[in-house]
Amino acid sequence: MINTPTIPLNEALDEAVNLVYEEHLKMRDGLDYNQLAAVIPHLDASKRIFLMGMGRSGLMMQAAAMRLMHLGYETYVVGETTTPAIGKGDLLLAGSGSGSTTSIVNAAKTAKQEGAVVVAITTNPDSLLADLADQVLLIPAAQKNKQEAAISKQYAGSLFEQSLLLVTDALIQVLWQAGGKSADELWKRHSNLE
């Protein structure tokens, strides 16, 4: 059970929503838009796109995989039973706040060995994942194991995970606009087995 807040619950929720919103405005201002733009040619040139993240970051990468599929890209989520082997001409898009998650680093090593391109989305430019990547997109957010209150007052890696969704959705929005397909055309790729 929660302790009774010292302020009304709706006021506490309003403060929490404002906190999250303000942190995203700060994150947006800290983004390097050249790094963000540099991801698009990699997405567009890829034969197939493999997306990977762990935990809540993984859920954000699954959302990006679905959206890219709606745009007509051949996408796979690493770890699913129907995901094929990665190879030359493919792209691994990996999201890891720390850039040191063992399974993601190992996947990046395999992707490189097989001739695929690796794009890393991370908070840590000095990480193993960033070192392996052909392109790095740095997200100015706190890592989950380093509570940096100056960057985020949210729990653990929440700001990074939320930012993954925002930046991948921004990439997808630009790709959609550039592709010139209507929402009705994309809708045909939505699952009809739900």
Residue among 128, 139, 82 nearest 103 (CA): 128
Q: In this structure, what token pair is assigned to residue 71? A: 């745009």
Q: Which secondary-structure segment (H or E) carries 22?
A: helix 9-30
Quote the DSSP letter at residue 156: T
What is the spatial distance between Cα 112 and Cα 135, in angstroms, rounded to a whole number?
Answer: 12
- Per the CB < 8 A criterion, the answer to whether 72 and 46 are in contact is no
Q: Is 194 a catalytic residue?
A: no
Quote the DSSP letter at residue 7: S
Query: Of all residues in the chain, what percent are helix, strand and coil, respectively (each to 5)?
Result: 50, 10, 40
For 87, the 3-state DSSP assignment is coil
Please give the span between the terminal C-alpha atoms of the chain, in angstroms, as a whole number: 35
Question: Which residues make Cβ contacts (< 8 Å) with residue 106, sequence separation at least 6?
Answer: none
Annotated catalytic residue within 22, 80, 161, 194? 161
What is the spatial distance between Cα 80 and Cα 82, in angstroms, rounded to a whole number?
Answer: 6
Q: Which residues are catalytic?
A: 161
